[in-house]
Amino acid sequence: MVGSRRVKDEMELRKQRTVRFHEERAKPTIPTHQKQAGLAANKLGLWISEKNKIFLAGNELWYKKIIDPSSDFILTWNYVLRIACFVALFMDPLYFYVPKIYYGTLNSCIGRDTRLAIIVTVFRSITDLFYVLQIIIKFRTAYINPSSTLGVFGRDLVKDPGNIAKQYLRSSFVVDLVASLPLPQIIIWSVIPSVKYSLSEHDDDILLLIALFQYVLRLYLVFSLNSKIVEVTGAFSKTAWQGAAYNLLLYMIASHVLGALWYLLSVDRQTACWEKYCSNETGCQNKYLACDVQPDSNWKISTTIFNSCNASNKSIGFDYGMFTPLLSNQAPDQGFLKKFFYCLWWGLQNLSCYGQTLTVSTYIGETLYAIFLAVLGLVLFAHLIGNVQVPFFSQMDDRLLDAICERLVSSLSTVGTYIVREGDPVTEMLFIIRGKLESSTTDGGRTGFFNSITLKTGDFCGEELLGWALVPKPTVNLPSSTRTVKTIVEVEAFALRAEDLKFVASQFRRLHSRKLQHTFRYYSHHWRTWAACFIQAAWRRYKRRRLAKNLSIRESFSSRRSFEEDGSPEHSLVLNAARKGAHIIKELPKFRKPSEPDFSAEHDD
């Protein structure tokens, strides 16, 4: 008992002596208790008492105080704002369903669904308030001084309201302001009604351009907000299910937008057909196509416009292209729910197959929309695949992650600091949270070999230590580093020491399978370098075999006599040099394959 207690005390003293960032030495380890947001804040060196405070210290009134950016209030507000942003992203495309076509036996007209316009306007105005509140909160929230050398751990905050306002006005104020403006409401209730007897096609174009422009800004704010949440909490979502639900919701919103655009463009094509035949018909005026205008009785009886533009009639001279299914079913005359789910299904179906089943006409707008649909499907697929890729530590359970996070130590390295040199013992794994490092290797001083990469936020170094710790009976000597790691800029990171990793790895071997080995290889820079060298060696062998084959073919078609007559000393030297070059390439030393940790070995009890 006394011996084990002495060992623990010595390890605690070693920890205190080897902490790089001196401000963190005296701070105790705070358990996470599976609270992700609290864990990330504690790792950044924030006390719980400080984190629960909304305002920074001061004697001003509450509405004049400056908000602490690391407080629970800001984190909770970001989550609430993200929900409001998703509601706004869902509500905005509903404006595209406001135009409505009323089909009749003899005559048809285009109008708008007033009830839907009122409902969407109310909900849209409510979500606009959240964007306005976000602007107000940003004017009263402190920010970290970018020129400070203390960084995140030092918490050097700018608290002056004037400086905060200047920084916000120079950064994202314009985007936030434009995103909060009620532009679709103004278009629907003010601009379009004020233009008497306006062409519905032009009205739809105005609504489409304004709504899409603001929609792109709001989508940008959602991704910006997600990056802030990741920066504060260290993770995008609290659980894996929330991350999966987010990706599914993003996919459904994209399908919703595509379906709503398809509906609006279908109405646009229907009115374009009516106007085309109206211009060729005597006594027809474009205003007769609007439902709020009483057409001439004689024209109403004699017109053939609506029969000539009947989408269900395949013999007409107007090509509706991809909009034929919607118009032939007269979906624009259906109730909102019917046409909404019909268009949502169309968007989901074509987004999943990248629009491969679409039959488009020669209309440029339709073709561009089909191209946009295909590109969007590919981008979303790539985004989904990128999120599905599981990071190294996501293979572990919550208890193991909790144990690892309790043993992490904050680290701050200045510019030009060598974290580890090639050949030196690796004493810790480093997980980067801010900054850039250069990681290079010469494969133990091999002549002509040099490989260099840049490590950024989210990367790690010192993976040799993991292979050493996962061995059932690791040696006392620490593994040698295969790379030289040097800071390019100031770097903030978390360090996991050898003894802590060894203790955690002994528990991990019982809980997981060999799948972690493949994940480890994927994220290991040493394994990536070896794989690249392996591919290069295979390519050199292929070129060497091809060169030898070409030489043998050339020699077989020329006799020794013609070779001596034709051949000059230079020609002989070229052939001999090619053979020797191939021989030299063959004898080049290979890049050493990294050692494989035994993930399947049982732990000795």
Amino acid at 212: L
Instruction: DSSP letter for 333, please.
Output: G
Fold assignment, 392-605: Jelly Rolls (2.60.120)
- Residues 6+ positions from 326 with CB-CB distance below 8 Å: 262, 263, 266, 332, 342, 343, 346
Q: Return the closest-CA partner of residue 40 out of 67, 70, 61.
A: 70
Q: How much is the average pLDDT of 426-449?
A: 81
Span 231-258, pLDDT tens digits = 655 555 655 567 677 778 888 999 999 9
What percent of the chain has pLDDT above 70?
A: 66
pLDDT for 10 equals 43
pLDDT of residue 114 exceeding 80, the answer is: yes
Burial of 552 (0-12, 13-18, 19+ CB in 10 A): exposed
Element (H, E) at 41: helix 36-43
- Of 16-30, 112-126, 431-445, the range with the lowest mean pLDDT is 16-30
Other beta carbons within 10 Å of 186: 12
pLDDT for 125 equals 92
Span 17-44, pLDDT tens digits = 333 433 333 333 333 333 334 433 343 3
- Residues 6+ positions from 427 with CB-CB distance below 8 Å: 420, 465, 478, 497, 498
pLDDT of residue 511 exceeding 50, the answer is: no
3-state secondary structure of 505: helix
pLDDT for 259 equals 93
Mean pLDDT of the chain: 74
Residue extents of the structural domains in the chain: 62-388, 392-605
Q: Tokens for 520? A: 């480890």
d(CA 514, CA 525): 19
d(CA 305, CA 33): 71
Over the Cα atoms of the chain, what is R_g?
34
Burial of 88 (0-12, 13-18, 19+ CB in 10 A): buried
Q: Are 142 and 160 in contact (CB under 8 A)?
A: no
pTM over the 0.85 mark: no
- Of 132-146, 334-348, 480-494, 583-597, the range with the lowest mean pLDDT is 583-597
Q: What band does 475 get if pLDDT is binned at 50, 70 and 90?
A: low
Report the alpha-carbon angle 335-328-339, nearest 5.
Answer: 25
d(CA 9, CA 315): 90
Q: Is the dihedral of CA 353, 356, 361, 364 positive or negative?
A: positive
Chain centroid to CA 578: 49
Q: Are 138 and 168 in contact (CB under 8 A)?
A: yes
Q: How much is the average pLDDT of 462-489?
A: 79
Q: Return the closest-CA partner of residue 146 out of 354, 417, 434.
A: 434
pLDDT of residue 605 exceeding 50, the answer is: no
d(CA 302, CA 282): 10
Instruction: DSSP letter for 597, please.
Output: P
pLDDT for 595 equals 55
Burial 68-81 (b: 16+ CB within 10 A, else e): bbbbbbbbebbeeb
Q: Tokens for 50? A: 């400080």
Phi-psi region of 303 (alpha: psi -120 to 50; beta: other; left: phi over 0): beta
- Of 142-151, 197-206, 236-245, the range with the lowest mean pLDDT is 197-206
Burial 368-387 (b: 16+ CB within 10 A, else e): ebbeebbebbeebeeeeeee
* Greater model confidence, 458 or 547: 547
pLDDT for 452 equals 82
pLDDT of residue 104 exceeding 60, the answer is: yes
d(CA 357, CA 352): 11
> Tokens 């679709």 correspond to what residue?
184
pLDDT for 553 equals 79
3-state secondary structure of 495: strand
Q: Tokens for 460? A: 């790690």
Element (H, E) at 212: helix 200-233
Strand order in the sheet with 409-413: 409-413, 491-497, 428-434, 460-461
How many residues comprise the chain?
Answer: 605
3-state secondary structure of 314: coil
pLDDT for 564 equals 52
Q: What band does 6 get if pLDDT is binned at 50, 70 and 90?
A: very low
pLDDT of residue 573 exceeding 70, the answer is: no
Using DSSP bridges, classify how beta strands 451-455 and 409-413 pair: parallel, antiparallel or unpaired.
unpaired
Q: How much is the average pLDDT of 58-75?
A: 71
Q: What band does 148 get if pLDDT is binned at 50, 70 and 90?
A: low
Q: Are 517 and 467 in contact (CB under 8 A)?
A: no
pLDDT for 121 equals 92
Q: Are 492 and 410 in contact (CB under 8 A)?
A: yes
Q: Are 167 and 69 in contact (CB under 8 A)?
A: no
- β partners of residue 418: 486
pLDDT of residue 14 exceeding 80, the answer is: no
SS3 content of the chain, % helix, strand, coil (to 5): 60, 10, 30
d(CA 262, CA 264): 6
